[in-house]
Amino acid sequence: MTTTKSSQHRAEKRTRIAPATFNRRDLVKGAVGAGAMTFALGAQAPMIVRGQSKTNVTFWTTYTDTGLKNLTDIVNAFNKQSTDTNVKIVQIPPAEVTDSSKLITAVRGGTGPDVYLLDRFIVNERAANGLLEDLTDLMKKNGMNPDLTEDYIEFAAREATFDGKPYALPFDTDVRALYYNKAMIKEAGIDPATWDPSKGVLLWDDIKATAAKLNKKDTNGNFTQAGLVPWFDQGLPYTFGFSWGGTFFDKSKCEVTPDNDKIVASGDWIYNYAKDQGVDAFQAFIQAAMKPGAPPQQNPFIQKRMAMWITGDWSIQNLATYAPDIDYGITYLPVPTKGMNSTTWAGGWSVVIPQGAKEPEGAFKFMKYFAGPEGQKMYTKASSHVPTLKSVQADKSLYSGKHVFFIEKLLPTTKNRPPLPVGAKFWDELQTAWQKIYLNKESAKQAYGEAKQNTQTLIQQFCPIT
């Protein structure tokens, strides 16, 4: 019994004492075990986090101000509904639309974005340079037809296609028209009601005569008020060239044609306008507002110092923001001779994937949303631009007020810049020719002839253009 008691006592003692005899070896074993367990759990934890984390996509844009805000709203809406992709919008410094230096150097350095917002008329040039990814495979993988003309309006689809392959998804488009300040044209003795688009198309010469009545100068000869500076903002070679019925590219000859008679005639009209109303004074008047990225507050129409303004649909939004008290009307772009149909033109932007993008799959998911019905509807409502998706464009509920005029009356007859693999060069050459004309340094024939010659040298290498 004693033995039994004694052994039971020892056993009890062992049982009691066992936890106290926690020697160094046990400690090490325990630590290793605990470490292993922690590692195992820890290894699981990141896996769980990884499973929930999203692919990060970088989206670059040069937009500023309200444009940037509108894009950010679309990005936020996308991020909210996406379970696997998170887009970060990055604003890069604004420059001329043809200047892609930041993008090119970043792509070469391996630090380019996954998505880039590119002016659509230079998509062809950037694609020809090898800067952009061909979207064919990504479109097929995401259930889209690589033939963009199926879903998008034709000219936007053509601008986004190079050599038969899609390199961009068209985003918005825009249409040019003539805006006029009703109170100011009354000063010139014009009843604003007679300028209503329902009364027909105005003549450029009548506009010129009205504008002359509204020009006012100070004692130093500077304009304090102007009727119209026709080369300000969207008063561009394309605007006037199309208005006179000209064409800028002859596909059959693979030849740019800014020197055709109609475009030269439009240039002559501008040359004479400047000559009659003041070359230098006009330049001084609009200079501050002409800089790339100039704030809307410097615009003389917004400052109520210019009665007429050639601009696009997006200015409805700008005027609502910066000059809500201006009572203004919008009408067709005038025509040079009675009986001609008014012609305008459209441009617009698109989203592309630059070469070397780290997350092309995630990038395309975002592009599909951004340039798809969701993104285009949001942008149309916020910016008063025009959607490029046929299905969205047909949705009348998106347009109201003055915006309806652009959709119903202008869009059906709009033209567009020829999508060329030397689009940026041609644009710059036309701009230089335009300056020569409105500064009265060269005749339209000579200036446009030089623009043709300088562009034609480069375009030859891409001929024939399909």
Partner 1 sequence: MNSVTVTSPPGNAPTRHRMTRNEWRNLRNGLLFISPWIIGFLAFLVYPIYYTVRISFTKYTGFGPATWIGLDNYHRMINDPIFWKALWNTVYYTALAVPIGVVVAMGLALCMNQRLPEVPLYRAILFIPSIIPGFALSLIFLILMDPTQGIFNRIITSVGLPGINWFGDPAWVKATFVFMAQFGAGQVALIFLASLKAIPASLHEAAMMDGASAMNRFWNITVPLMTPVILYDLILGLSLGLQIFTQAYIITQGGPIDSSRFYVLYLYDNAFKYGQMGYASALSVVLFVITFVLAALIFWSSNRWVNYDTM
Q: How many residues are listed for the chain in this entry? A: 466
The minimum distance between CB 178 and partner 1, in angstroms, equals 25
Q: Does 297 bind partner 1 (CB under 8 A)?
A: no
The minimum distance between CB 91 and partner 1, in angstroms, equals 17
Q: Does 450 bind partner 1 (CB under 8 A)?
A: yes
The minimum distance between CB 255 and partner 1, in angstroms, equals 18
Tokens of 416: 């567009």
Q: Does 111 bind partner 1 (CB under 8 A)?
A: no
How many Å apart are CA 125 and CA 156, to the nearest integer? 15
CA distances from 218 to 2, 232, 281 (A): 127, 21, 11
Contact 385, 313 (CB under 8 A): yes
Q: Give, as one character, the DSSP assignment of residue 342.
A: P
Q: Does 185 bind partner 1 (CB under 8 A)?
A: no
- x/- mask, partner 1, residues 393-432, rule CB under 8 A, reads -----------------------------x-xx--x--xx
Q: Does 331 bind partner 1 (CB under 8 A)?
A: no
Applying the rule CB under 8 A, the residues between 347 and 366 that interact with partner 1 are 355
> Which of 121, 345, 346 shows the shortest CA–CA distance to 242?
345
Give the range of 57-65, 145-153, 383-391, 433-441 binding partner 1 by CB under 8 A: 433-441
The minimum distance between CB 287 and partner 1, in angstroms, equals 5
Q: Considering beta carbons, is residue 129 or 443 the nearer one to partner 1? A: 129
The minimum distance between CB 129 and partner 1, in angstroms, equals 4
Look at phi and psi of residue 228 and say left if phi exceeds 0, alpha if psi is from -120 to 50, else beta: beta
Which residues does 50 contact at the CB level (< 8 Å), separation at least 6?
Answer: none
The minimum distance between CB 291 and partner 1, in angstroms, equals 7
Sign for the pseudo-dihedral over CA of 387, 389, 394, 395: negative
Binding test (CB under 8 A) with partner 1, winner from 45, 280, 391, 460:
280
How many Å apart are CA 113 and CA 363, to the nearest integer? 9
Sign for the pseudo-dihedral over CA of 296, 297, 298, 303: positive
Backbone angles phi, psi at 258, to 5 degrees: -70, -10
The residues of the shown chain that bind partner 1, judged by CB under 8 A, are 96, 98-101, 104-105, 107-108, 125-126, 128-131, 220-222, 280, 283-285, 287-288, 291-292, 355, 422, 424-425, 428, 431-432, 435-436, 439, 441, 450, 454, 457-458, 461
